């Protein structure tokens, strides 16, 4: 496993409903990332289709494997790159249910995927109307490191990143489609989730305006001590390279031993209290 890897935070806007154009953009930026010696390129939540596509999701969702993931697999194979991107997934098994999915592809094919566990269905969000929630966190042992996945609103629930970290993830990738009115929350949460888990957290957000909803970008890599290592521009497309040094986890944990000081017995209480709300 590499000790240091280079990430490319590909903060893009999507053309809604236009998978062909969005795949073209994924391809273009993956090639750019390769040229700049990145190991992993990360794209936002649901960037394959755009975020506000409503009932069109029923037509746009694809199985994994499916035409779009096959194309990204081919791209990863050709370039030797690792790619994370978001798409609406049609369940292979039921062919009827959908997930909001982060797909992780490497040179050998699909490494794994993560189904968003917390689906916002309040305010302007209507994800539960369309998607089935995921039931498992995701952490993958790969040649470029132990990497976990989560999606946007998951960040409000520390248990997701905690479980991901406890499964061994040293870099947690969070893909997002967060609108501007929520920017301050995510600026806090991204730092908090990295710090409390002493892990790296790469956050890649959508930009652009979809049905009046403005996505704020501001993608970033946060260090295990909660510092912003690199940050993309607000409100416009950007492409940022940054480095993850996995050795930093050890020194961070020595300084803020949040994992050493975990109290497992509290989680039983937490479970009980949560059931009693």
Looking at the Cβ atoms of 50 and 145, the one nearer to other proteins is 50
- Comparing CA positions, the residue from 15, 9, 14 lying closest to residue 33 is 9
Q: Taking CB under 8 A as the rule, does residue 209 contact other proteins?
A: yes
The residue from 8, 29, 53, 111 that contacts other proteins (CB under 8 A) is: 53
- Verify whether residue 116 is a known catalytic residue: yes
- Verify whether residue 152 is a known catalytic residue: yes
From residue 176 to residue 195, the character string flagging contacts with other proteins as x (rule: CB under 8 A) and all else as - is ----x---------------
Terminal Cα distance for the chain, rounded: 43
Choosing from 116, 127, 146, 187, which is the catalytic residue?
A: 116
In sequence order, which residues have a C-beta less than 8 Å from that of residue 3 and are 6 or more positions away? Answer: 245, 246, 247
Q: What are phi and psi of 37, to 5 degrees?
A: 65, 30
Point out which span in 52-60, 82-90, 244-252, 255-263 binds other proteins (CB under 8 A): 52-60
In sequence order, which residues have a C-beta less than 8 Å from that of residue 106 and are 6 or more positions away? Answer: 76, 82, 83, 142, 143, 144
Choosing from 19, 25, 34, 45, which is the catalytic residue?
A: 45
Cβ burial 252-271 (10 Å sphere, 16+ → b, else e): bbeebebbeeeeeeeeeeee
- Verify whether residue 242 is a known catalytic residue: no
Q: Taking CB under 8 A as the rule, does residue 212 contact other proteins?
A: yes
Return the active site residues: 45, 116, 152
Residues that bind other proteins (CB under 8 A): 16-17, 50, 52-56, 126, 180, 208-212, 214, 235
């Amino acid at each position: 496993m590499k000790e240091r890897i280079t990430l490319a935070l590909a903060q893009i806007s999507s053309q809604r409903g236009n998978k062909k154009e969005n795949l073209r953009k994924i391809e273009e930026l993956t090639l750019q990332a390769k040229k700049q010696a990145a190991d992993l390129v990360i794209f936002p939540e649901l960037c394959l289709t755009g975020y506000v596509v409503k009932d069109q999701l029923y037509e746009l969702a694809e199985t994994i494997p499916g035409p779009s993931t096959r194309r990204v697999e081919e791209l990863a194979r050709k370039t030797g790159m690792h790619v994370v991107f978001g798409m609406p997934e049609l369940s292979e098994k039921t062919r009827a249910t959908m997930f909001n999915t982060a797909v992780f592809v490497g040179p050998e094919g699909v490494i794994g995927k993560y189904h968003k566990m917390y689906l916002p269905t309040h305010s302007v969000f209507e994800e539960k109307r369309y998607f089935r929630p995921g039931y498992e966190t995701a952490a993958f042992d790969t040649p470029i490191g132990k990497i976990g996945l989560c999606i946007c609103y998951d960040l409000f629930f520390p248990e997701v990143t905690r479980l991901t970290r406890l499964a061994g993830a040293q870099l947690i990738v969070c893909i997002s489609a967060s609108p501007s009115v929520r920017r301050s929350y995510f600026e806090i949460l991204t730092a908090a989730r990295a710090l409390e888990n002493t892990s790296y957290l790469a956050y890649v957000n959508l930009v652009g305006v979809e049905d009046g909803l403005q996505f704020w970008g501001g993608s970033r890599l946060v260090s295990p001590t909660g510092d912003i290592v690199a940050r993309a521009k607000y409100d416009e497309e950007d492409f940022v390279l940054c480095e993850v040094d996995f050795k930093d986890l050890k020194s961070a944990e020595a300084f803020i031993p949040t994992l050493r000081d975990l109290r497992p017995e509290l989680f039983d209480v937490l479970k009980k209290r949560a059931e009693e709300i």
